[in-house]
Structure 1
């Protein structure tokens, strides 16, 4: 099996340690590395001498990882000693000696690593830990407890603080890595690695800066599609508010969750251990006192992390039967009677069965009359298997801390304060909300008329040549007409805005990291003052995303939601969707301001329209160049085509979509055992949930997948799309080539479907600028080998890792460079 490019860093098979001081790595060295570790300990201040043969390595075998902690002035000599046998990965820890020229040290180490094809962490690194493997490659004296959460930090001090805190509260990690300067190993690469790491269930990130918005978003979306991701970002006070809103919008669209405060990162680490995810923010609070309950519900303010749930009459009647007289039963549910396991079970069961409740916060203060050990034992049994989240707060320390620890160890972590418990629930709810946004994609065949992109871009090119950076009014309206945007100018004889109307505005700007940002909010002077009340999202949008964008704005929540007709809302959402298409297909546009916008009946009128352009981006067609001006690659609908098969069956070949998950699962189930084994080299009968997400929630910046579908009717006559073929490629770590896969349903083979799917796949790879495409095929899969070699003209070589069982079937798109055989 091919190793991930970062495997030598995170799962080294051989190790060399060069240090003039004691390091924690030698105190907890995993058994698998003990016979393949070389320790070199020069005297303080002296130069290291690297032996020609390393412990446990055979002649010609490359060292996986070198861990170096030497004075900065000795680093160049130490790395020179590795010239003849450079490692695959390198961690250079910070040394107590002062570096007189740290920038030169950074430059030298980065150049050395790139020259030797070596993943680099450092210099001046805190290092990393892999607690599940017993590997401490950091300067933190204690190896963290094993767990299922990965922690990435762009700060060594934050990492040190979190590890120290986690040890005290018994939180474990699968991985903890501080990236520092990110000279070579970047956060996007680490996210890619953790997305497929079997020991990691969720990821927490402390972020200070993003250097490449597209790469960051691509990796974040990929990771968040299979594992919860939470992000804490510093420096918000020094950032332009619009850039902050763009960053928030980016995290929402990536399916990740942003927290604002350091303490919330701890809450996220704890709450992601919960298996249940709420489908909304409606919380019921159960407590043994009004004070703790009210503190939790104080978080249900406008825009807060939770919403106060309304209990049904049936729920209140059931609660009345076993709660003492005088108890509160309308949310919060508060009783002053002594608590025991049965009472807690009864109350929680009622609350969780209420359709108006998305989850429960159980907040308890110390009470000597209550059987808290029994209550906690019941919570430890009940909460992990509940169909909705049950978050517990055990207020206090002396008597309550051991009880919290019991719940922590049971996988249903408890919190110290009602507010932190409510905030933690908000993190879970935000995750569910953002995951719905992550799944959204433009329709393959939209209902509205397709835009005339060629005419629009020619219009913009001429405008830039003749009048600079701004369209006149006529040109601006003509541009909207090219994309069929359903807005109309206010006629001269009409009042721009009457006193009974609430003007709104649509604005599009360009964020330097994340590209086009679409905003909907109040218009006129109010809109220019209260920009933090706008709904904000990144292009591209579809109907669902446009609706959520409008609903997040304050003007909609407070005024328009009760005034706008369904027809007008549909028109508004279509306008937002098409405007996002406009800025996606026309990178020449710097900004669009449509303000004020007035909704009258079913129509939407505009008083002022302003389009500002930027030069230098008119040459490339965005669809062919990968939409480089955007952080999110739009759905590549231009690859949709129809194909006639035998018996007058018409198939559609198109890029895969998230909503293809069920059809793809059925496609895999329907394959014969032989076809399934030929494709997956295993006898698996269906895809796991993570594999389904991996195949259907694609970032078309880094991979490409086509499905062939036909329409079939079930026994009740309901039509549905059925997948009969799949082709896919994923970029290799070198960024120059990709690995492909192809499978066609047994009943549809021999009709040219496989050849067409593969031809379109190679066309996409060539257009993306790749140099080669390759795949591993079983040696006895004669039909596939024949298709690839005879029909596609690919080369057929033995796989070096399994020359008798597998074949490496590949082709280049340019004579140079030819990829090395792995």
Structure 2
């Protein structure tokens, strides 16, 4: 269930309070006062012990209400809640806010929570909470909470897992004039969770930005799908509590949920296109910076100031944040030279000296707003007697009124600057109290832009098509688990890597010294000797690795010393034998670590970083969620320090970055195809200009009945939908789900469509697709959307696209809207009908109940296809040029073509 009946909760016309109280300082009393205070609709009070509260009549039970409330607020002891929910559902109420506590993670609390869910489910009644402060909708003057203040109305939605944070933020925001479209205390999220709220708010026209206070995510896949959709349309800014182990434990006891690894949460937020911040001040500063809808074209900052010191402070903070200071063009410098005194700084920051008047500010702003080398202008001002703060702010506002790029401001001081900041805020110019805060505001824009680019970036084609030996890998996994073994090392781990086309060294297994010596003779050059033990995961930590052994006698001596040393420091370890591998002579190669592990919340995660024996000490690594493509793999690599070295330096050539990225893509495929792989380490993976080589690896297995794809927080490419597609002239093409790499080939499809065909498909006569539209049509969320493309042979990005049919489902998976496009030369050959049949079959399999489409009336061919497939044809309200076509999948039988 997702946003079904959300209108009853978020746009209620009537409310009932169960647990109303005349005690002013009780939860029920505060709720009663808040509901009666300003809400204009009917408010029903329920309490069996009172007939009147605060002058309003009270009924003894839910059934005695003289209206059916859209929204109920429940503030009674926890054991009574399931019964009350059942009563509410019975009279037709569709939404409830459960304030009551004492649910939690205990066995009794879990039983109560389940009973509450069971009572709500038959009636499709939605529940917010339990154990929450409540819900506030300023636009409706509704305060269905026990908060001490009414929030101001505004464009910000605030969702918080902590009730205390809700009331604290309310107390902080009101005197600052910050308003909200809604404030929602999520509580224990027994029903409605962050994913549901994000789905709703993504389409709410009164919400311009969404702020989240998160302690733990429950349904990771729903959260990721909803967050990615919301973040495409408006800023989603998140603060995550429990960043460190000490606080993570506190969070678990507070919310009844386990907080996952903070680095994994960070990767999830980035992948969803959200902006993460680390304090409440920063949360609202980011909302102010991003909330006006201004976006930046690049990441270069120009600074204008009347004080050299504050300009230096801003520059220092910019450097600390890894930001870029713009280099002013010669033309800009010349224009500034013409209007500024000779003593100006002649560079960026542009210091126009302490005697700068409002007019001088205005004269300097013009050249800076048109400078081709900058993307954002930051204007700083410290108070002087010559240039009063308010007058300077007014001049700045007028000078930037028609600016085509974002402008930020920082007016330093308190008494004089306060009014100036208020003036700037009214003009929708984000304003900060210090230069450092202003620079952090700029970096919010930069980081948000980078995260948004991840959402729309077209990945390059995979540099090589690798073939996976999945049956071989599955057989190796099954054999090990069948023997009761969970740790694979040496040749067994290498066999899994080889099955996924990851280059590895060759190794020979030896059970004793004689076999080890013979292995060295066969290899015929220096070797490495490694211990094999199910009880030793990291061999080098216990002296289980010996390198550069030139002769059989060297191997025998090293083996004896190794066995003696390990027997002394780790006597319980079972020694199953040894592996002998040729030494790899790749001088100058970089040692990397690549890994795969499973997070309790988000499922499989991919690790990349600096490898070798000092991997924990160096701690240079980054994490991403699979599935990965080449662009996402390169972005993961770029978040590490070693990435700079991999690009080459001095006489060191660049490593093969595509080979490294492709190895990460292959690890991602292992996460999808082999659900039994709980952990995988390749350390080191040697990388140089020649490519990559996995030198050592370990895999830990865990038996599972779950399909691999079901574990991922982001649904991976559904390969099972691939099938041959016979064409009318005898050739066979491939019908498969669309991929991000296909974006360039959409241009080829469009090139083979007439302006009339384009108008019937896109409802406008466009000649080509903008890059962001191409990305949106190919970077789909397979959890919510599907696009099946008829393509030629070849790798994604190179395979030609002949036709595409797509559906986009609503969050409830109830109704999906379809669209179809094909080349003009394929029209009239039955291809459109066959594609629709395939998509209808897919939609039925997904459990979608209705397929709908809007078709222009002049598109006679499409209307005819829909009629033959059993769609209802109806006029579209408000569109005299179009019809609505609807197929009820649960009733209709699709005729064969």
TM surpasses 0.5: yes
Post-superposition CA distance 1:64-115 (Å, at most 9, x none): 222344566765675565354131111234699xxx9977765554443234
Quick check: 1:505–1:520 contact (8 Å CA) kept in 2?
Answer: yes
Quick check: 1:50–1:82 contact (8 Å CA) kept in 2?
Answer: no
Quick check: 2:756–2:765 contact (8 Å CA) kept in 1?
Answer: no
Quick check: 1:404–1:414 contact (8 Å CA) kept in 2?
Answer: yes
Q: Give the corresponding residue for 2:9.
A: 9
Post-superposition CA distance 1:424-475 (Å, at most 9, x none): 1111111111112223577788742332333332332233324622334223
Q: Give the corresponding residue for 1:49.
A: 60
Compute the displacement of 1:259 (Å). 0.8
Compute the displacement of 1:301 (Å). 4.2
Give the direction of change, closer, same or farther, for the CA distance of 1:615–1:709 in structure 2 (3 Å limit): closer
Quick check: 1:4–1:193 contact (8 Å CA) kept in 2?
Answer: no
1:539 aligns with 2:556: no
Bigger shift: residues 128-137 or 43-52: 43-52
Post-superposition CA distance 1:612-640 (Å, at most 9, x none): 222224x74x4xxxx11111222335545
Q: Give the corresponding residue for 2:561.
A: none
Quick check: 2:46–2:59 contact (8 Å CA) kept in 1?
Answer: yes
Q: Give the corresponding residue for 1:85.
A: 91
Q: Give the corresponding residue for 1:415.
A: 432
CA distance in 2, matches of 1:176, 1:363: 33
Quick check: 1:67–1:93 contact (8 Å CA) kept in 2?
Answer: yes
Give the direction of change, closer, same or farther, for the CA distance of 1:611–1:17 in structure 2 (3 Å limit): closer
Of 276, 281, 293, the residue aligned with 1:263 is 281
Q: Give the corresponding residue for 1:29.
A: 39
1:223 aligns with 2:230: yes
CA distance in 2, matches of 1:474, 1:377: 73
Of 638, 642, 646, the residue aligned with 1:551 is 638
1:391 aligns with 2:401: no
Q: Equivalent residue of 2:441, what SS?
A: helix
Q: Give the corresponding residue for 2:835.
A: 757
Of 505, 513, 528, the residue aligned with 2:616 is 528
Q: Give the corresponding residue for 1:456.
A: 473
Bigger shift: residues 197-206 or 661-670: 661-670
Number of aligned positions between the proteins:
776
Compute the displacement of 1:120 (Å). 0.9
1:607 aligns with 2:625: no
CA distance in 1, matches of 2:591, 2:3: 57
Give the direction of change, closer, same or farther, for the CA distance of 1:94–1:476 in structure 2 (3 Å limit): closer
CA distance in 1, matches of 2:260, 2:73: 42
Bigger shift: residues 20-29 or 205-214: 20-29
CA distance in 2, matches of 1:224, 1:512: 24
Q: Give the corresponding residue for 1:254.
A: 272
Q: How does 1:472-491 map to 2 (within 5 A)?
A: 472-486=489-503
CA distance in 2, matches of 1:83, 1:643: 49
1:193 aligns with 2:210: no
Q: How does 1:72-111 map to 2 (within 5 A)?
A: 79=85, 81-82=87-88, 84-93=90-99, 106=113, 108-111=115-118
Q: Give the corresponding residue for 1:728.
A: 807
1:127 aligns with 2:204: no
Q: Equivalent residue of 2:397, what SS?
A: helix
CA distance in 2, matches of 1:444, 1:813: 42
Of 120, 130, 133, the residue aligned with 1:113 is 120
Give the direction of change, closer, same or farther, for the CA distance of 1:118–1:347 in structure 2 (3 Å limit): same
Compute the displacement of 1:192 (Å). 0.6
Of 41, 44, 60, the residue aligned with 1:39 is 44
Bigger shift: residues 156-165 or 313-322: 313-322
Q: Give the corresponding residue for 1:715.
A: none
Compute the displacement of 1:524 (Å). 1.9
Compute the displacement of 1:581 (Å). 2.2
Q: Equivalent residue of 2:710, what SS?
A: coil
Post-superposition CA distance 1:285-338 (Å, at most 9, x none): 222223322322232345x26333344444444433333333323332223243
Give the direction of change, closer, same or farther, for the CA distance of 1:198–1:525 in structure 2 (3 Å limit): same
Compute the displacement of 1:546 (Å). 1.8
Q: Give the corresponding residue for 1:631.
A: 713
Q: Give the corresponding residue for 1:818.
A: none
Unaligned runs of 5+ in 1: 712-718, 816-822
Quick check: 1:339–1:375 contact (8 Å CA) kept in 2?
Answer: no
Q: Equivalent residue of 2:291, what SS?
A: coil
Q: Give the corresponding residue for 1:716.
A: none
Compute the displacement of 1:557 (Å). 2.9
Q: How does 1:158-177 map to 2 (within 5 A)?
A: 158-177=165-184
Q: Equivalent residue of 1:595, what SS?
A: strand
Compute the displacement of 1:211 (Å). 1.8
Post-superposition CA distance 1:5-36 (Å, at most 9, x none): 31111112444344333332333325xxx3xx
Q: Which has the larger radius of gyration?
A: 2
CA distance in 2, matches of 1:576, 1:335: 50
TM-score (norm. length: structure 1):
0.82
Bigger shift: residues 70-79 or 474-483: 70-79
Q: Give the corresponding residue for 2:375.
A: 358
Compute the displacement of 1:409 (Å). 1.8
Of 583, 602, 623, the residue aligned with 2:671 is 583
Q: Equivalent residue of 2:276, what SS?
A: strand
Quick check: 2:753–2:823 contact (8 Å CA) kept in 1?
Answer: no
Q: Equivalent residue of 2:487, what SS?
A: coil
Quick check: 1:109–1:123 contact (8 Å CA) kept in 2?
Answer: no
1:344 aligns with 2:344: no
Give the direction of change, closer, same or farther, for the CA distance of 1:344–1:710 in structure 2 (3 Å limit): farther
CA distance in 1, matches of 2:467, 2:366: 52
Compute the displacement of 1:365 (Å). 1.6
Of 232, 236, 241, the residue aligned with 1:234 is 241
Across the aligned residues of Structure 1 and Structure 2, the Cα RMSD in angstroms comes to: 4.4
